[in-house]
Amino acid sequence: MNTYNPLLETSQNTYGEPPFDRITVTDYKPALIRAIELAKKQIDAITSFPEAPTFANTVEALERAGQEVTWVSTIFFNLNEAHTSDRLQQLAQELSPLLTEYSLYVLLNDKLFQRVKEVQKQKDSLALTGEQSRLLEETYKDFVRGGANLSPEKKEVYGRIQEQLSLLTLQFSSNVLAATNAYTLHISKEEDLDGLPPYMVEMGKEAAAIRNMDGWIFTLDYPSYGGFIKFSSCRALRKDIWKAYNSRCLYQHSNQELIRRIVMLRLESANMLGYGKYSDYVLENRMAKDARTVNLFLQDLLDRTLPYARQEVAEIDLYARSKGFKEQLMPWDFSYWSEKFREEKYGLSEELLKPYFSLDKVEQAVFSLAGKLYGLTFSPVPEVSVYHPDVKVFRVNDESGRFMALLYVDYYPRQSKRPGAWMTAYRRQYIMGGQEYRPLVSLVTNFTKPTSTMPSLLTFGEVTTLFHEFGHCLHGILAEGTYGSLTGTNVVRDFVELPSQILENWAYEPAFLQSFALHYRSGEPIPLSMIDKIVASRNFLAGYGQVRQLHYGILDMAWHDVSSVPDTDIVLYEGSVLGRSAVLPLIPGTAISPSFSHIFAGGYSAGYYSYKWAEVLEADAYELFREKGIFDRQVAGSFRKHILSTGNSEDPDVLYRRFRGRDPRPDALMRKLFPFAKGVKKR
């Protein structure tokens, strides 16, 4: 019998990367079963160790246990997000309970916990490094927060809850992908294309050709949906696609009952651990510390921003009426008319801008920026195997020639990829047995695919998205530490967005912009006048955009900062939560929650506020770059040392103070968004 399984073999590849060219779908389950068997033996060896518990034989040994489980599961679930199939989704339902059972085998293992507890008691008398102390602290906390102090009976109930949650969140994500793929807007009459720029028309034509259909097809993948809603002159079609997008998983592929069950089970698990609300459980371990701080933070920003947002919406409404629009301004009108207004006010349109932002040039720009700030270089390594032909791989070196990471990039939408953009890793940076393992980082987006006549051209919003996700990648690439659980992006949620959001600022710097914004046909650099308009329009609809983000955070807390599950219709519930601060009409039959993957299938439950929290940090941090010079290597070196490379080896508050020399000042965000507003404290 052939027992070869590439997932269980020590990688002989140059960088120890996944052997995608040899992995088949049938390899995952037997590999994970075998990996879990090995990991349990490693756990049992720790619990049966005859000598008294020490940091080395218990805490460090636990950190090293289960490497094979992490390897197999990370590869599988990354592919289930980026290149799934019916079989992979079915497998996810089979593998998730195995992983949950293994996790509970560790966290609810009383013998193991007692050993960790004993080391924790001795902490002050042990000669531990700062990194070792942090690992001990985090390990002990993980056990307590994972149910280690529960009675045997309650541990059994708690375990069942975690198993159910793992399956429900997977199903939520699968439903969102299915609902996104289920809808197509088929246009057969050329007049219905009115307003769409040529690249959108070509995109629609190719989407139809792929489906062996005549005419043009537009989908709910964001490059297609976002462009259509912004440019189409046909109000009825805009309404149709808007309602389809904003009712995903409300009725078809419904997530309504899943939401209630997820919220209920999260609340039950928090109650079992002694917390009144799920938000109490989550936020205890974040920079914000508690729900009151988060709610006050969100409400304060909302109160300060709503007047700007309402003024902006009124301005767009007035503009639309000046152009003959006589209806009530609805959500499916707002993008269309605001884009028209932006074009007229700033003399700037996406159609004018996109030719200057070919994906390959923007990619070169972020690589160049990493070189200017941190001395990194990126070299293609086509010999590294990939999971899809669209994926490219780069070797990342530092100035001394040291290998820092592999970077996988996967830019284009397909039906096997979930919507959105994200960074992940196939391997974190860590040191074991005297050998350093450098990270294998992945950047995944859904940008417009090249056509037969033009390259992938990005909207400016997509340019900033690429900078954002690349910021996360740098957090992984520049990781330095001994323990993988503490390195790279393994930091609290309200800190993890700082490296990503700060990088977006460089996309607005005129000198840097002109270095890479070159017309894809002529090669001419973007005119300075156009750059001036980009910078001038940076805060266009800043109030509207901030209110929208705050709504997501408020809605997240409305689901998770509760002591009982909201027993009401989801559309009505959202209306009660967001109605008073809505700046556009709320539409019956639509809702955010059923496709809100960040909080119901991702890691942002009771944590979506993190984007705004981190934006305060980045606005304050970037002011230092502006003061000293945006390419200043000393400031960049400090940011690398204290933020990017340090991971979770210390509290983020301490790390930020080390970089900035003080606590962050919240007014920096208001200065960034509303630089000329009255009442905004000037520097």
CA distances from 45 to 38, 40, 110 (A): 11, 8, 14
Query: For position 683, what pLDDT does the model report?
Result: 52
Question: Please, is 206 exposed, middle or buried when counting C-beta atoms within 10 Å of its C-beta (0-12, 13-18, 19+)?
Answer: middle
Single out the residue of 165, 170, 166, 150 nearest to residue 266, CA to CA.
165
Domain with CATH 1.20.1050.40 in the chain: 25-149
- Average of pLDDT values for 337-364? 93
Q: Categorize the per-residue pLDDT at 121 as very low, low, confident or very high, splitting at 50, 70 and 90.
A: very high
Classify domain 25-149 at the CATH superfamily level: Endopeptidase. Chain P; domain 1 (1.20.1050.40)
Please count the CA atoms within 13 angstroms of the CA of 343 that sit on its side-chain side: 13
In the predicted structure, residue 205 carries a pLDDT above the cut 70: yes
Burial 372-395 (b: 16+ CB within 10 A, else e): bbbbbbbeeeeebebbeebbbbbb
Q: Which residue has the higher pLDDT, 536 or 179?
A: 179
pLDDT tens, residue by residue, 229-255: 999 999 999 999 999 999 999 999 999
Query: For position 568, what pLDDT does the model report?
Result: 85
In the predicted structure, residue 88 carries a pLDDT above the cut 90: yes
Domain with CATH 1.10.1370.40 in the chain: 355-541+611-673
Average pLDDT score over the chain: 95
Query: For position 453, what pLDDT does the model report?
Result: 85
Query: For position 589, what pLDDT does the model report?
Result: 96
In the predicted structure, residue 85 carries a pLDDT above the cut 50: yes
Single out the residue of 493, 584, 530 nearest to residue 355, CA to CA.
530
Q: Categorize the per-residue pLDDT at 682 as very low, low, confident or very high, splitting at 50, 70 and 90.
A: low
- Average of pLDDT values for 54-75? 98
When computed from its CA atoms, the radius of gyration of the chain, rounded to whole angstroms, is 25
Cα distance between residue 182 and residue 453, in whole Å: 28
**For the chain, what percent of residues have pLDDT higher than 70?**
99
**For the chain, what percent of residues have pLDDT higher than 90?**
92
Query: For position 371, what pLDDT does the model report?
Result: 98
Q: Categorize the per-residue pLDDT at 1 as very low, low, confident or very high, splitting at 50, 70 and 90.
A: very low
Cα distance between residue 123 and residue 177, in whole Å: 47
Query: For position 477, what pLDDT does the model report?
Result: 98
Q: Give the tokens for residue 477.
A: 């690439």
Q: Which CATH class is domain 355-541+611-673?
A: mainly alpha
State which amino acid sits at residue 355: P
Query: For position 408, what pLDDT does the model report?
Result: 98
* Helix 570-578 with 542-560: angle, nearest 10 deg: 120
In the predicted structure, residue 156 carries a pLDDT above the cut 90: yes
Please count the CA atoms within 13 angstroms of the CA of 676 that sit on its side-chain side: 5
Cα distance between residue 427 and residue 385, in whole Å: 16
Question: Please, is 523 exposed, middle or buried when counting C-beta atoms within 10 Å of its C-beta (0-12, 13-18, 19+)?
Answer: exposed
pLDDT tens, residue by residue, 488-522: 999 999 999 999 999 999 999 999 999 999 999 99
Q: Categorize the per-residue pLDDT at 452 as very low, low, confident or very high, splitting at 50, 70 and 90.
A: confident
Q: What is the DSSP letter of 459?
A: -
- Average of pLDDT values for 649-656? 96
**Number of neighbours of residue 175 by Cβ within 10 angstroms:** 22
Please count the CA atoms within 13 angstroms of the CA of 255 that sit on its side-chain side: 30
Query: For position 379, what pLDDT does the model report?
Result: 98
Query: For position 350, what pLDDT does the model report?
Result: 81
- Average of pLDDT values for 635-653? 97
- Average of pLDDT values for 177-198? 96
The answer to pTM > 0.85 is yes
Active site positions, annotated: 469
- Average of pLDDT values for 372-401? 98
Query: For position 17, what pLDDT does the model report?
Result: 96
Q: Give the tokens for residue 158.
A: 């708690």
Q: Categorize the per-residue pLDDT at 128 as very low, low, confident or very high, splitting at 50, 70 and 90.
A: very high
H or E stretch at 406: strand 403-410
pLDDT tens, residue by residue, 524-548: 999 999 999 999 899 999 999 999 9
Helices (H) then strands (E): counts for the chain: 28, 9
State which amino acid sits at residue 541: L
- Average of pLDDT values for 364-368? 98
Query: For position 10, what pLDDT does the model report?
Result: 84
φ/ψ of 197, rounded to 5, equals -70, 160
**Number of neighbours of residue 411 by Cβ within 10 angstroms:** 22
pLDDT tens, residue by residue, 457-493: 999 999 999 999 999 999 999 999 999 999 999 999 9
